[in-house]
Amino acid sequence: MAQYGKKSVPLDVELYQPASSLPEGKKNPEFQKKWEIALGLIDSSLQRGEQPSIVLTDAGYGNNSSFIKQLEQRKLKYLVAVAKNRKVGLKSEKNSDMNEEMRLDEIAKKLSKDAFSAVTLHLDKPKTIWVATFNAQVTRLGGERRFAIVLNASSFEQATEVDYLMTNVKVEMATAQWMVETYGQRNWVEVFYRDAKSWLGWREAQVRDKKKLLRHFVLVFCAYTFILWQKLTGGLRRRWANKPLNTFREALEAFRTAMSFRFFHWLQEHQNLFAAYKASLGYLWA
């Protein structure tokens, strides 16, 4: 998925096939781990000249050091979620020349209330969260990375939601505000999946063959992108609606109205042709 402002545009899709479904399991030449598939999709985008300004992933990929190393080898900037049990190295309080390895959740518990600054996210409704940022050594990656601990309350003890983020973006840019606002853009990818599943039949494929499934997904991608383009360029609003089209569902309904009208208009002039087509399938149009 590519993120442009507040819209997500689907670019590529690839299926993950569990090792258990392959004859030789993980030794099968066709088997690929999820992070390897993700890297392949990124490489496809790079080959087309689509250079991402930032790669956003959930902790499933952010915790994978092999995946992160490959991003860095491609000189890509990233901002990823990581697990609370990720160990990082901080300067020891007793000996500043040594690093003390600690889990991120242990660091979160030790940080004072003053270490967290309030950040307001301007969503549908303004939301305030509390963020602490710091640099720490990551042994498996080598060198320091920038981390953020994000709470939904002013202290770790009161928080019911805690997120941990890591980036290779320079300290000057990777402020608390930048990290949470930038990572929040990843939510628009989830919005795409919600719309594709709810309104475009993403999960309603009646096939099991890999090639046919990919064709189904590509058709969904095309339909989503076409309707989104029509909505953004005002095509649907100009002719097929007398109200703002604020959601994908509303835009889709305007598109369906347009297609229904055009089919009805076509049918009035070509009833015999349509009846003949139905008859060729063994049905009667009366």
For residue 82 the two structure tokens come to: 């990581």
Query: Mean pLDDT, the chain, as a whole number?
Result: 89
For the stretch 108-166, pLDDT in tens is: 999 999 999 999 988 778 889 999 999 999 988 989 999 999 999 999 999 999 999 99
For residue 109 the two structure tokens come to: 């518990």
Residue-level pLDDT at 103: 95
Distance separating alpha carbons of residues 115 and 134, to the nearest angstrom: 10
Domain ranges, ordered by start, for the chain:
2-192, 200-280
User: DSSP states of 205-250 as a string?
Assistant: ----SHHHHHHHHHHHHHHHHHHHHHHHTTHHHHHH-SS---SHHH
For the stretch 9-64, pLDDT in tens is: 788 888 888 888 888 888 888 889 999 999 999 999 999 998 889 999 999 999 99
Collapse the DSSP code of 135 into the 3-class scheme (helix H, G, I; strand E, B; otherwise coil) and give the result. Answer: strand
Number of neighbouring beta carbons within 10 Å of residue 174: 23
For the stretch 171-185, pLDDT in tens is: 999 999 999 999 988
Residue-level pLDDT at 238: 81
For residue 233 the two structure tokens come to: 């360029």
110 burial level (CB within 10 Å; 0-12, 13-18, 19+): exposed
Distance separating alpha carbons of residues 57 and 156, to the nearest angstrom: 24
Average pLDDT of the residues in 222-238: 84
Class of domain 2-192: alpha beta
Which is more confident, 240 or 134?
Answer: 134
- Among 107, 51, 97, residue whose Cα is nearest residue 75: 51
